[in-house]
Amino acid sequence: MVKSGYSRILLIVFIFIFSLLPTTTAFAQGQDTIDQRIYDHAGLLSENDIQELEILAKKYSDERETNFVIVTEDDPKPNDVAEYTEDFYDEKLPGYDKPAGNAVILTLDMKNREVYLAGFYKGEKYLGSHRLDLIREKITPFLSDGDYFHAFKEFILTGHAYMGYWTGIEPDSFFFSWWFQIGVPLVLAAIVLFAMLYSSGGRVTVNSATYIDNQHSKVRKHHDIYLRKTVDRRRKPKNNSNNRGGFGGGGITRGGHSHSGSRGSF
Amino acid sequence: MVIQYKCPNCGDDMRFDSHSGMLSCASCGRKDNIQDLPDEFITNHFDEEEAKQYQCENCGAVVITDADTTATSCSFCGAAVVLGDRLTRALAPAKVLPFKISKDEARAAFKKWCKNGLLTPKGFMSANRIKEITGLYVPFWLYDLNAQAEVKAIGVRTRQYSRGDYIYTEKKYYDVYRDITMDYSRVPVDASEKMHDELMDKLEPFHYQDMEDFRTPYLAGYIAEKYNYDDEAMFPRVKDKISGYIDSYISSTIRGYSYVNYKQRNISTSKRHAAYVLLPVWMVYYDYDHHVHTFAMNGQTGKVVGKPPISKKKVVAWFTSIAATTFVGIKIVALMMGGGLLW
């Protein structure tokens, strides 16, 4: 009896220590990283999905030294997905390098069916509002279909990929497409070879200047008379095509952290 | 009738020497200035015969030529002969541009050209199968032309500016008028039926400052042709040749417009003068892969033209290496800017 009581106490202590252990490790890594990146408050994902996304998010967060965070909410307070995201950042401070540090947050507002992407610090530098727009456009079809897992996965992968591009470079540029990278060398080689074949038999090296007698060639009479004028006007194209579902772009949180942003409905 | 130049010293045959520009004797080294030689043969008026047989005054052999040849070599003793009656007044050239490049230099220059061929097969590049190399005076017409152009057009200047929420495109229309006169001097067109026009066009330019008054001794040692087409017959071709030049001259006088719509272009080209001249060309006949390839070389500048054989292997190799290098280059830049390894 005594023995069993003793072992019971031991068991409780062990459980207590083990239950404490993850938290302690999280605190130990506190300066570098956080333990949770997926906050599925709306319950859109299965336990396995969350596990998988956590592993994926950790891996890519480490590579870019920027935390990829995903938040889902059934009834966000305040009832604005952008403000909610800002408050979330101020509260959780999910920075990678320091609490108020590098992060990219995807927030899903299930009540208003809106999505908001925000980049903080390094996240803001490499994923500006325009790049976030591109990512949002990529994941919106998945969100509309209710395939949240793939949408989140795509968010992490694309966000990671886009962070690799120099700032100011258009990641979706044709320059990075396979048809451009294959096509241009082929076309160039064809042009060069055509020129080589064409000139292999000797080229004509005389031109209009060779035989002209400049002393006796001239314009004898000329005029340029103004006739009329037409003016066409068209509206300036909007340079921000992202603000379909509200104000686009970033802002500053109540806590004073500047961020980029992209907002849309799904 | 056959004209031969015998050396007054030793009696051997004399021929034109491209280095000194004089008539020279290979045996004793005597050189005679051609412009100072008596002018007996070209001022005489010969009747044009279509006879095709001549007797070599050297060895008595019969020299057979086709009807267009005015200078050749005796196929038996090799003596340079000029067929004087083929150079009757109507057919006598006014000027001649003597050869600047000797046969040996022509051979060397051709070999060098072959070696530089980037797409020619390896066997061709060694250039050791020159079958024949012939110095040819090709008959050309040099035209002095005048072209008058009257051009009416609408010129448009466009300007864009933005004010407020709008972008404005302003177009100003102008009535453009030009009356232009253009003179072109000594535009060459080959007058021989045998010569490929495209080949001859590529041989240009010839530098006319070295042109001499025609004397028959210049032809000694070379083959010369007489013209098949007179200057009237060749006029459409020269007109065609300068039409592109005229167009670019006209557009060079209409500047400062975004675009120009031509309403009327009246161009009339007239001949001021046409001179019959002989221009020097080395013809190179080259045996490769059971085919004889013909090349022409400008006898004054050494420029070579003609279609060389093309090695498919080399075309493929060049194509692949250019494409591959460019691809790697683009890929490196893309990777540096952050693109993925597999797009």
d(CA B185, CA B163): 54
pLDDT at B42: 43
Give pLDDT tens digits for A154-169.
999 999 989 988 888 8
- Indicate whether B8 belongs to any domain: no
Question: Residue B221 — left, alpha, or beta (φ > 0 → left; ψ -120 to 50 → alpha)?
Answer: left
Determine the angle formed by the axes of helices A148-163 and A129-145, rounding to 10 degrees. 160
Tell which A residues from 106 to 165 touch B, by Cβ distance under 8 Å: 161-165
Among B326, B328, B336, which would you mutate to test the A interface (most chain A Cβ atoms within 10 Å of its Cβ)? B326
pLDDT at A21: 41
Element containing residue B274 per DSSP (H, E): strand B259-288
- Indicate whether B196 belongs to any domain: no
In our burial notation (b when 16+ CB lie closer than 10 A, e otherwise), range A50-89 reads: bebbeebbbebbeebbbbbbbbbbeebeeebbbbbbbbbb
Nearest to B306 among A201, A206, A219 (CB): A201
Q: Assess A239–B contact: CB distance below 8 Å, yes or no.
A: no
d(CA A209, CA A4): 111
Strand partners, A67: A103
Residue A121 is given by DSSP the state: T
Q: How many CB atoms lie within 10 A of CB B273?
A: 12
Q: How many CB atoms lie within 10 A of CB B90?
A: 11
CB A81, CB A41: distance < 8 Å:
no
Q: Assess A167–B contact: CB distance below 8 Å, yes or no.
A: no
pTM (predicted TM-score): 0.67
Residue B217 is given by DSSP the state: G
Query: Which of A96-110, A202-216, B214-228, B268-282 comes out lowest in average pLDDT?
Result: B214-228
CB A65, CB A162: distance < 8 Å:
no
d(CA A98, CA A84): 21
Distance, in angstroms, between B253 CA and closest chain A CA?
8
Q: How many CB atoms lie within 10 A of CB A260?
A: 24
Q: Assess B339–A contact: CB distance below 8 Å, yes or no.
A: yes
For residue A158, give the amino acid letter: T
CB contact under 8 A, A208 and B310: no
d(CA B205, CA A212): 13
- Indicate whether B88 belongs to any domain: no
Determine the angle formed by the axes of helices A148-163 and A47-64, rounding to 10 degrees. 10
Low-confidence ranges of chain B (pLDDT < 70): 1-3, 38-55, 57-68, 74-79, 84-91, 127, 339-343
d(CA A22, CA A32): 15
d(CA A39, CA A84): 13
Report percent pLDDT > 70 for chain A: 83
Q: Assess B154–A contact: CB distance below 8 Å, yes or no.
A: yes
Residues B62, B66, B68: CA angle, nearest 5 degrees: 130
Give Cα separations from B121 to B50, B126, B163 (angstroms): 44, 9, 64
What is the Rg, in whole angstroms, of the alpha carbon atoms belonging to chain B?
A: 28
d(CA A48, CA A54): 10
- Indicate whether B205 belongs to any domain: no
Q: Domain tally for chain B?
A: 1
Distance, in angstroms, between B198 CA and closest chain A CA?
9
Q: Which fold has domain A34-174+241-265?
A: Diaminopimelate Epimerase; Chain A, domain 1 (3.10.310)
CB B139, CB B190: distance < 8 Å:
yes
pLDDT at B61: 63
Which is it for strands B223-225 and B259-288: parallel, antiparallel or unpaired? unpaired
The mean per-residue pLDDT over the stretch A105-128 comes to 92
Cis, peptide link before residue A78, omega less than 30° from 0: yes
CB contact under 8 A, B305 and A178: no
CB contact under 8 A, B303 and A208: no
A51: Cβ contacts below 8 Å, ≥ 6 apart: none
Q: Is B300 exposed, middle or buried (0-12, 13-18, 19+ CB in 10 A)?
A: buried
CB contact under 8 A, A231 and B171: yes
ipTM comes to: 0.70
Among B173, B279, B315, B320, which would you mutate to test the A interface (most chain A Cβ atoms within 10 Å of its Cβ)? B173
pLDDT at A71: 93
DSSP symbols for A104-167:
EEEEEETTTTEEEEEEETHHHHHS-HHHHHHHHHHHHHHHHHT-HHHHHHHHHHHHHHHHTSPT
Work out the pLDDT band at A247, boundaries 50, 70, 90.
very low
Residue among B9, B19, B21 at smallest CA distance from B217:
B21
Give Cα separations from B314 to A36, B121, B292, B309 (angstroms): 61, 7, 21, 11
Residues of A with Cβ-Cβ distance to B175 under 8 angstroms: 223-225, 227
Distance, in angstroms, between A121 CA and closest chain B CA?
19
pLDDT at B87: 64
Token representation of residue A152: 């989140």
Residue among A68, A72, A54, A67 at smallest CA distance from A97:
A67
d(CA B205, CA A204): 9
Q: Assess A192–B contact: CB distance below 8 Å, yes or no.
A: yes
B116: Cα separation from own chain's centroid: 21
Q: Assess A236–B contact: CB distance below 8 Å, yes or no.
A: yes
d(CA A108, CA A149): 12
pLDDT at B195: 80
- Indicate whether B326 belongs to any domain: yes
- Indicate whether B343 belongs to any domain: yes
pLDDT at B77: 65
A165: Cα separation from own chain's centroid: 10
Work out the pLDDT band at A33, boundaries 50, 70, 90.
low
pLDDT at A1: 40
Token representation of residue B224: 């010369």
Query: Domain containing B327: what range?
Result: 311-343
Task: Name the phi and psi angles at A88, rounded to 5.
Answer: -60, -45
Distance, in angstroms, between B269 CA and closest chain A CA?
13
